[in-house]
């Protein structure tokens, strides 16, 4: 049995990717970092790494959704999506080297970005059990229910 999910138009899917990438760009290059004391214990993951993990996982998942129509083997599609998200993260890290109040290029951040982007593998594991359908397929039963006498 496949679980139905709504498939939005390509424009809307790519708009989602651009919004997420823009948010990452804004947060990484245009804002001044917080001066919050990171009081995490040595055995836990610092909050800035959590931010990287979540941001690049969401970016990779939005890329996977936007490119779902590509006719590629799943493993190749996954590698391309992870590579694009991780590459974007590396470019952002390189850009931070030129921004005041930001650290220089940190390889550790690039590694964390790549690990976060790899979270998209959950999408590719679940994908055979998902059925992407046009949004209209979800709206018509709802509209029929609402508009019935």
**111 pLDDT above the threshold of 80:** yes
Give the pLDDT of residue 106: 81
Give the pLDDT of residue 64: 97
Residue of 115, 118, 114, 99 lying closest to 28 (CA atoms):
99
Q: What is the pLDDT of residues 56-106, one digit of tens each?
A: 999 999 999 999 999 999 999 999 999 999 999 999 998 888 887 777 778
Where helices occur in the chain by DSSP H, the ranges are 10-25, 47-66, 74-96, 107-117, 121-126, 135-147
How far is it, in rounded angstroms, from Cα 122 to Cα 107? 25
Q: What is the pTM of this model?
A: 0.84
Q: What is the pLDDT of residues 12-66, one digit of tens each?
A: 999 999 999 999 999 888 876 665 555 555 567 778 888 899 999 999 999 999 9
């Amino acid at each position: 049995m496949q679980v139905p999910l709504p498939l939005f138009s390509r424009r809307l899917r790519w708009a989602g990717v651009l919004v997420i990438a823009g948010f990452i760009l804004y947060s990484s290059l245009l804002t001044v970092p917080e001066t919050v004391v990171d009081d995490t214990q040595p055995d836990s993951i610092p909050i800035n790494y959590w931010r990287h993990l979540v941001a690049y996982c969401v970016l990779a998942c939005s890329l996977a959704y936007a490119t779902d129509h590509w006719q590629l083997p799943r493993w190749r599609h996954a590698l391309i999506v992870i590579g694009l998200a991780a590459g974007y993260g590396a470019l952002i890290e390189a850009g931070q080297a030129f921004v005041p109040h930001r650290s220089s290029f940190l390889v550790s951040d690039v590694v964390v970005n790549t690990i976060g982007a790899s979270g998209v593998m959950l999408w590719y594991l679940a994908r055979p059990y998902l059925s992407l359908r046009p949004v209209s397929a979800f709206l018509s039963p709802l509209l029929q229910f609402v508009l019935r006498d």
